[in-house]
């Protein structure tokens, strides 16, 4: 298995683990973590795909992922602010029956 194929598979696993975490956990901070895992899986996929042709280094996916990393931290910061607001208003940071942080 070549290096790009290995990391493409890692990307698929990390993305799937993130999907599971996002769907199965009621605690909001854990969901944000899972969402970040999904994002990292997609980033890894984009760059690993670009490496399949060993002769060229494709700068376009790298630039897109760099943009994506900054967007991800922006979204994470905003999401965490909403979690803090929810916690201040209700004393809880989760959804459903299990509301521990």
Partner 1 sequence: MAELLGWVFDALLALALLLLAARVVFSPRLFESIVLFIVFGLLMAIAWARLAAPHLALAEAAIGAGITGALLLSTFRELVIGRTPSPEAPRVLVYRWHGLMALLAGGLFAVLGWALLSIDVPTGPVAGEQAMALLARTAVDDAVTAVLLDFRAYDTLLEMGVLLLAVLGARAALGSQGPASSDDLWTDGEGDTPMVGALVGMLSPLIIIMAGYLLWAGAYGPGGAFQAGAVLAALGVLLRLTGRIVPAPRAGVVQRGVLVIGMGVFTLAGLLTLATGRAFLQYPESLAYPMILLIEVALTLSIALPLVLLFSGSAGIAAGRSQHSP
Report if residue 84 touches partner 1, rule: CB under 8 A. yes
Min. distance of Cβ 5 from partner 1 in angstroms?
Answer: 6
Min. distance of Cβ 39 from partner 1 in angstroms?
Answer: 9
Min. distance of Cβ 89 from partner 1 in angstroms?
Answer: 10
Binding to partner 1 by CB under 8 A, coded x per residue (else -) over 36-75, reads xx--x--xxx-xxxxxxx--xxxxxxxxxxxx-xxxxxxx
Distance of CA 8 to the CA centre of its chain: 15
Report if residue 90 touches partner 1, rule: CB under 8 A. no
Binding to partner 1 by CB under 8 A, coded x per residue (else -) over 18-37, reads xxxx-xxxxx-xx-xxx-xx
Min. distance of Cβ 46 from partner 1 in angstroms?
Answer: 10
Query: What count of other Cβ atoms lies within 10 Å of the Cβ of residue 35?
Result: 18
Written as six digits, the tokens of 35 are 């969402």
Check if the beta carbon of residue 32 is closer than 8 Å to that of residue 80: yes
């Amino acid at each position: 298995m070549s290096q790009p194929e290995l990391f493409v598979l890692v990307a698929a696993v990390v993305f799937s683990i993130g999907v599971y975490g996002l769907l199965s956990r009621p605690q909001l901070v854990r969901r944000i973590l899972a969402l970040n895992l999904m994002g990292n899986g997609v980033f890894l996929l984009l760059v690993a795909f670009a490496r399949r042709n060993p002769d060229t280094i494709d700068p376009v996916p790298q630039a897109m992922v760099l943009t994506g990393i900054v967007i991800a931290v922006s979204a994470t910061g905003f999401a965490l602010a909403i979690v803090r607001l929810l916690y201040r208003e209700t004393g809880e940071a989760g959804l459903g029956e299990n509301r521990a942080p």
